[in-house]
Amino acid sequence: MLINCVAYENGSKLADIPTAEISEYLARPGCFVWVAMKDATDDELLTMQAEFGLHELAVEDALHGHQRPKVEEYGDTLFAVLHTVELTPTDELATGEVDIFVGRNFVLSVRNRSRQNLLQVRERSEREPHMLRHGPAFVFYALMDAVVDRYFPIIDRLETELEQVEDQMFEPGTSQANIQRLYELKREIGTVRHAVTPLIDAVHKLFSGRVPSVCEGNREYFRDVFDHLLRMQGSLDNLRDTIGTAIQVNLANVAIEESVVNKRLAAWAGIFAVISAFAGIWGMNFKNMPELEWQWGYPLALATITIVCVVLYRQFRKSGWL
């Protein structure tokens, strides 16, 4: 659906306009049109294609969705795909997509599968008319900066959860639960990396070397976005390495815990094996067994078994097996 369609001139808002009048404002010198849509239908995108002269391949990517983050150049028009990463009510990560078309005198943003709105980007831009005078390139930067900055809270949350897992890593009986949570964190980090990493090279092309004509004169803004992405990539790499180490430590803890259990079982098995051996010997039905005729034979047998078991128990306890 159409969220808003606004015309700007010299950094100031002219009016909210219907889509049918877009071409009229595009023909005015120093004027550009900023259209925002959410979960646009095929008909709505085809209407925008006709109004702005969008390339059919870019429109096709926007129609199909689920594209890899990228920035592509089609003549004088840029087409960018950004991924949104947000928390669901069940505290899980969900990804959406923002498709942005940027031309000499227009900006079209299409937000898909995302609950995060970008209204504050328009409000911020309209409060800074001196920046809005840069035209569609500044709007493109503002939209990209807003999407990228929303990755920071997600990364901070991942770091906090990893610290919580590390704090309880050596508590008895928590190793298996820790491993499960670490793998979940690893998967969530992969989700954020898929949004961040492809953008690094794409944004680098917007301020280094041959810059697209739409972005000329705004290199420093895109360099700022690039710096943010590099910081995020460094944080994500550190998180991934830390999680790998934490998983190995927890696996070692599981092996140690299993080893302790096995030692205890082996120790008790050894003690009961001695009892079984003595009972087996004295339980044989032979006639010529002198112990059978002793008055104190039975108490002596029990005492012998008890003494041997106590000695074994103390030895196992001393060695840490019990």
Question: Domains, the chain, ranges and CATH?
Answer: 1-133 (3.30.460.20), 258-318 (1.20.58.340)
Query: Is the model's pTM score more than 0.85?
Result: no
Q: How far apart, in Å, are the Cα atoms of 168 and each of 69, 158, 174, 212?
A: 37, 16, 7, 51
pLDDT number for residue 66: 83
Positive/negative CA dihedral, 110, 116, 117, 123: negative
Segments in the chain forming alpha helices (H): 22-26, 42-52, 56-64, 119-127, 129-132, 136-149, 151-167, 175-204, 219-282, 297-318
Q: Could you tell me which residues are beta bridge partners of residue 106?
A: 33, 103
Q: Decide: 14 and 33 in contact? Cβ < 8 Å.
A: no
pLDDT number for residue 313: 82
The identity of residue 194, as a single letter, is: H
Q: Could you tell me which residues are beta bridge partners of residue 9?
A: 12, 31
Q: What is the pLDDT along the chain (322 residues), one digit of tens a residue?
A: 888 999 999 889 999 999 989 999 999 888 999 999 999 899 999 999 999 999 999 999 998 888 899 999 998 899 999 999 998 888 888 999 999 999 999 999 999 988 888 888 998 888 888 888 888 999 999 999 999 999 999 999 999 999 998 888 888 777 778 888 999 999 999 999 999 999 999 999 998 878 888 888 888 999 999 999 999 999 999 999 999 988 888 888 877 777 777 778 888 888 888 888 877 777 776 666 666 667 777 777 788 888 888 888 888 788 777 7
pLDDT number for residue 286: 62
Q: Could you tell me which residues are beta bridge partners of residue 286?
A: none
